[in-house]
Amino acid sequence: MNIKGKTALVSGGASGLGAATVRMLVAQGAKAVIADVNDNAGSKLAQELGSAVAFVKTDVTQSDQVRAAVAEAGSKFGGLHIAVAAAGIGVAEKLLGKEGMHDLQRYLRVIQVNLIGSFDLIRQAANLMSRNAPDEDGGRGVVVTTASVAAFDGQIGQVAYSASKGGIVAMTLPLARELSRFGIRIVTIAPGIFDTPLLGALPEPARLSLAEQVPYPKRLGQPREYAALVQHIIENNMLNGETIRLDGAIRMAPK
């Protein structure tokens, strides 16, 4: 799919991986809807990028807010061709820790945001994409979801996060098979350790320690590298139903 002239929606688009993706899409000639719960960051990015971008405050656990963001793409920019699910949260908590059992509500919250929030965006975005006129390859849309290497080698204390990201990986192929009749592709990216706001709060020694765990290159991943893979996925029609690790060959230790 040619990005130029298309409309995209990016959940979690106000910062980190999502913001880098929004910048890439606009640079490639697309219009973009930023769907993010962070009002200040979302509005600031939209103001910076100008008329090619709209911000819709969106909590992905609220289906009516996801619906409003998808509808904004249709009403403001005339349709939706690309959806990137980059909204996510994490929690570090053992199943049986010093404070007792893993809090069930915190577990449910991670699943709700990461897995169910991604699924809701996919279903609502695909519904709008299915109405697009097909391109020369029969394509009507592309969906990119965000998992994590924790889906494959999650560490102790990552049970909720790993479960949520593993669910995203597991639904990629069946969704690709189902949506193929509409000409809609879906591909998942599983990032390793990336320099996002989540890691930005860590002290420098901790950041350096994480970087040393990456075989090559020995550094944290950059959000622009995630965005570059999103671009390639959109532009390469043969990428479909797959999860791609973007991790510098890291395999996480148990803890």
* pLDDT tens column, 77-93: 999 999 999 999 999 99
**By percentage, how much of the chain surpasses pLDDT 90?**
91
* pLDDT tens column, 2-16: 999 999 999 999 999
Q: How far apart are CA 133 and CA 53, in angstroms?
A: 23
* pLDDT tens column, 158-185: 999 999 999 999 999 999 999 999 999 9
Q: Answer yes or no: is pLDDT of 188 > 70.
A: yes
Q: Answer yes or no: is pLDDT of 201 > 70.
A: no
For the whole model, what pTM was predicted? 0.96
pLDDT at 202: 65
Contacts of 84 (CB under 8 A, 6+ apart): 8, 9, 10, 11, 13, 18, 21, 143, 144, 145, 146, 230
The model's confidence at residue 204, banded by pLDDT at 50, 70 and 90, is confident
pLDDT at 101: 97
Q: Which domains does the chain have, with CATH numbers?
A: 7-246 (3.40.50.720)
Question: Helix axis angle, 223-235 relative to 16-27, nearest 10°?
Answer: 50
Task: List helix spans (H) across 78-186.
Answer: 104-110, 117-129, 150-153, 159-179
Where are the strands (E) in 71-229, listed by range? 82-85, 96-97, 100-101, 141-146, 184-191
* pLDDT tens column, 102-158: 999 999 999 999 999 999 999 999 999 999 999 999 999 999 999 999 999 999 999
Give the active site residues: 161
